[in-house]
Amino acid sequence: MRSFQQKPHFLPMAAEVPFGTPDATGKTRIPAIQIKTSDGNTVAFSGRIDRIDVLETADGKKYFMIVDNKMSNKEVKQNSIVAGLQLQLPLYIRAARLGLDGYEAAGGLYQPIKDVLVASEDTDQINTQIDKELQTSGMILDEELVQEAAKPVRIARRLDTNDTVSAVSADEMYAVEDCAIGAVADRVTLIYRGEVSPKPVKDGMESPCTWCDHPNACKHDSTIPGCKIVEIDHKRRIEITQL
Ligand code: SF4
């Protein structure tokens, strides 16, 4: 506890933070993200951020960190963002940038929240499995002070794929946010053009159609031309960051 108090640390500022819609006081403190499509339309993108943590340093710098609670483990992968999946963190970071004057973006973290059952009586084995199941992922600014303040979050060194929180520069983080906004703009452009045929994307082992609640509505049928499942190829990495 003493060492926690002595060192600067991220602390929760607010939970369930809306952007683009009013909060409990009736004020819209964080505006919607305005997304322009290639056809010249503008869409206001709103949402709700699970938690925003903040850090204030001795020299007066202020940072915010987005925390998104997840029921499952989730790695942030650049190709998944381009494919229109895993958009929350980068979009939430951009929204917070628009609404939190004086703060710099320190990153965004997926935090698994779930019960972990381990069939073992070995304490080390139990702790290892719990750490693995509750491992945080996301991206964080590649600055020592910020990473120290985010501990015990484990940060990947560049090019190291063993940990799932990637250290990125401020420019790289901004580029990832732009990439997510571009992915939304692409899809909204297609919807405006009337192209609404189902195009499910598979990331890993499981197709979303196996757990989706709306198969009757979309009429997806992989035997119909154009109705196939797209699989993300993470080996063909898009070189914006090392995510
Ligand atoms: S069943 Fe239809 S709506 Fe559901 S994930 Fe598959 S394509 Fe999308």
What is the CA(27)–ligand 1 centre distance, in A?
36
pLDDT value for 201: 83
pLDDT value for 218: 81
Residue 58 lies in a domain: yes
Residue 161 lies in a domain: yes
Quick check: helix, strand or coil at residue 90?
helix
| pLDDT tier, 242 (very low <50, low <70, confident <90, very high otherwise) | very low
pLDDT value for 68: 92
Task: Return the half-sphere exposure (C-beta side, CA atoms, 13 A cut-off) of residue 149.
Answer: 25
End-to-end CA distance of the chain: 33
Tell the residue nearest (CA) to atom 8 of ligand 1: 200
Query: In the predicted model, is pLDDT for residue 240 greater than 50?
Result: no
Q: How far apart are CA 4 and CA 22, in angstroms?
A: 34
158-196 pLDDT, tens digit each: 444 445 788 889 999 999 999 899 989 998 999 999 988
Residue from 218, 221, 229 whose mutation best tests the ligand 1 pocket (most atoms within 8 A of CB): 218
Of 203 and 61, which is predicted with more confidence?
61
pLDDT value for 203: 77
What is the CA(180)–ligand 1 centre distance, in A?
21
Quick check: helix, strand or coil at residue 231?
strand
Tell the residue nearest (CA) to atom 5 of ligand 1: 209
For the ranges 104-118, 146-160, 229-243, the maximum mean pLDDT occurs at: 104-118
Residue 211 lies in a domain: no
Q: How far apart are CA 215 and CA 231, in angstroms?
A: 19
Please, which residues bridge with residue 47 across strands?
19
Residue 84 lies in a domain: yes
pLDDT value for 78: 66
| pLDDT tier, 234 (very low <50, low <70, confident <90, very high otherwise) | low
Please, which residues bridge with residue 166 across strands?
139, 156
Per the structure, how many domains does the chain have?
Answer: 1
Residue 165 lies in a domain: yes
| pLDDT tier, 241 (very low <50, low <70, confident <90, very high otherwise) | very low
Q: What's the full length of the chain, in residues? A: 243
pLDDT value for 61: 95
pLDDT value for 199: 80
Environment class of 60 (CB within 10 Å of its CB; exposed 0-12, middle 13-18, buried 19+): exposed
| pLDDT tier, 151 (very low <50, low <70, confident <90, very high otherwise) | confident
Ligand 1 pocket residues where CB is under 6 Å: 198, 200, 208-209, 212, 214-215, 218, 220
* Domain residue limits at 107: 2-181
Atom of ligand 1 nearest to the CA of 208: 5
What are the φ/ψ torsions at residue 54 (nearest 5 degrees)? Answer: -130, 155
Residue 196 lies in a domain: no
Q: Which amino acid is at 147?
A: Q
What is the CA(203)–ligand 1 centre distance, in A?
14
Residue from 207, 209, 213 whose mutation best tests the ligand 1 pocket (most atoms within 8 A of CB): 209
How large a percentage of the chain has pLDDT more than 70? 84
What is the CA(166)–ligand 1 centre distance, in A?
31
Environment class of 133 (CB within 10 Å of its CB; exposed 0-12, middle 13-18, buried 19+): middle
For the ranges 5-14, 23-32, 117-126, the maximum mean pLDDT occurs at: 23-32
Residue 200 lies in a domain: no
| pLDDT tier, 157 (very low <50, low <70, confident <90, very high otherwise) | low
Determine what percent of the chain falls in helix, strand and coil, rounding each to the nearest 5. 30, 25, 45
Comparing C-alpha atoms, which of 119, 90, 120 is closest to residue 105?
90
What is the CA(185)–ligand 1 centre distance, in A?
20
pLDDT value for 49: 97
What are the φ/ψ torsions at residue 111 (nearest 5 degrees)? Answer: -115, 110
CA 47 to chain centre: 13
Residue 156 lies in a domain: yes
